[in-house]
Amino acid sequence: MYKNLILPASILAGTIIGAGMFSLPFVFRKAGLTTGLVYLSAFALIYIFIYWLYADIILRTRGEHRFVGYAKIYLGNIGFGTALFIGLIQLFFVLTIYLILGPSFSRLFISADSLYHFLGFWLFGSAAILLSTRRIAFLEFLMVAGIALIIFLAAGLGLKSFLSATDFSQPIKWSNFFVAGPILFALSGSLAVPEVVSYFKESSAPISFLKKSLALGSILSAIVYAAFVFGVWGLSQQISEDAVSGLVGQVPEWILALLGILGFLSLFSSYIVVGLNLRRILEYDLSLSGWLSRALVIFTPPALYFSGFQNFVYLVSFVGALFLPLENLFIILMWLKADRISMYASILVGGLTRKIIPLLILIFVGVLGYVIIK
């Protein structure tokens, strides 16, 4: 069971669980607990279908590819160019999100002006991107371990207080659709689907467990997020946009310092990993020179920050409600094309998934429409 189900599910969950979770306590407080939980559950289920469609594309396509490569195969040069553009812009904004969030953690264990925290995080992260030439597995370990310990601390310390003080009878307010963006951002894990598929191809695990592992990874992530929200709410009545600033004065200083160190390390490692991947895309897919790729990765995020993108929740909502619906619509369109032209029969997509595709399209178009209208 561990090798066939839990381990591959953890690959997906480990990719999903990240910086997006820090926006959820504030967003849930603004939307209402019941509303937030319903949207979280709904989008976790929706992502299961997306992951099944994406995994099915991978299984039915010869060769090793990633999102942009599949877009070129099934949607042509226009699809390739659009997917590449969406991916690049999204990653630049993700780096900007890390720049905004990083100082929130470093301030918990180092006393200095906010600008110095920002510059310190950016300079150290940029230096690693500039000097590194490969993905550093230890940094990914720090990211996962740091996030896991933060969740454990928050949930363990605050859950009892939350359960005793929270009213669970609040009505669901479907009109609070603004929660869609942050939740989509927090639950996004499409980058890990090819890795999960590769795990099943390279190991002796039966492919029949792939569908279950993708579903489990999405559901586990939603459960972890709910536990984090409960914990933060239980620890503090003052819920900040980044989930941690509002804990100052509410919990012991040693806990704040530990949260700050763990969060800083996890975000710092994420910044480097995303930056290195972005640099590779610029160099390999766009054929830019090494120095230009480095310059764009290093200087674009602070340029976005100083041009006005400084609100953490707004930026998470913007990325989640604009780029991720487009990415998921691309996955649906690629699967529809693959289903028409592939010589291989569908392995993961059954009758229910086929029937629900129009609803998935409607939901993601609706999220995009909400962004445009707002």
**Residue 168, pLDDT score:** 67
pTM here is: 0.88
Beta carbons within 8 Å of 285's beta carbon, 6+ residues apart: 68, 84
Q: Distance between CA 276 and CA 179 in Å, rounded?
A: 30
Q: Could you write out the DSSP letters of every residue in 348-362? A: S--HHHHHHHHHHHH
Contact status, residue 233 vs residue 29, Cβ threshold 8 Å: yes
Q: Distance between CA 267 and CA 107 in Å, rounded?
A: 14
Token output for 371: 């962004």
**Residue 138, pLDDT score:** 57
**Residue 63, pLDDT score:** 81
**Residue 167, pLDDT score:** 67
**Residue 43, pLDDT score:** 97
Token output for 277: 């991947």
Residue where the block lists tokens 């003080």: 165
Q: Identify the sign of the CA torsion 343, 344, 345, 349.
A: negative
**Residue 133, pLDDT score:** 47
Q: Distance between CA 364 and CA 127 in Å, rounded?
A: 38
The class of domain 2-373 in CATH terms is: mainly alpha
- Within 13 Å and on the Cβ side, how many CA atoms surround 36? 24
Q: Identify the sign of the CA torsion 92, 96, 97, 98.
A: positive
**Residue 143, pLDDT score:** 66
Distance (Å) of CA 191 to CA 13, 85, 274: 11, 16, 11
Q: Distance between CA 25 and CA 280 in Å, rounded?
A: 34
Per-residue pLDDT of the chain (374 residues; tens, 9 = 90+): 767 788 888 888 887 888 888 999 999 999 999 999 999 999 999 999 999 999 999 988 888 787 888 898 999 999 999 998 888 899 999 999 999 999 988 988 888 888 889 999 999 888 877 765 444 555 556 666 777 788 888 888 887 788 776 766 677 887 888 899 999 999 998 888 888 888 888 877 777 889 999 999 999 999 989 999 998 898 887 888 888 888 888 888 888 888 888 888 878 878 887 888 788 788 877 788 889 999 999 999 999 999 999 999 999 999 999 999 999 999 999 999 998 887 777 888 888 889 999 999 999 999 998 887 76
Q: Can you give the residue ranges of every domain in the chain?
A: 2-373
Distance (Å) of CA 178 to CA 175, 183, 346, 368: 8, 9, 35, 11
Residue where the block lists tokens 């605050």: 158
Question: Phi and psi for 173 in degrees, rounded to 5?
Answer: -110, 90
Q: Distance between CA 53 and CA 353 in Å, rounded?
A: 8
Q: Distance between CA 140 and CA 148 in Å, rounded?
A: 12
Nearest CA to 67 among 193, 172, 154, 165?
193
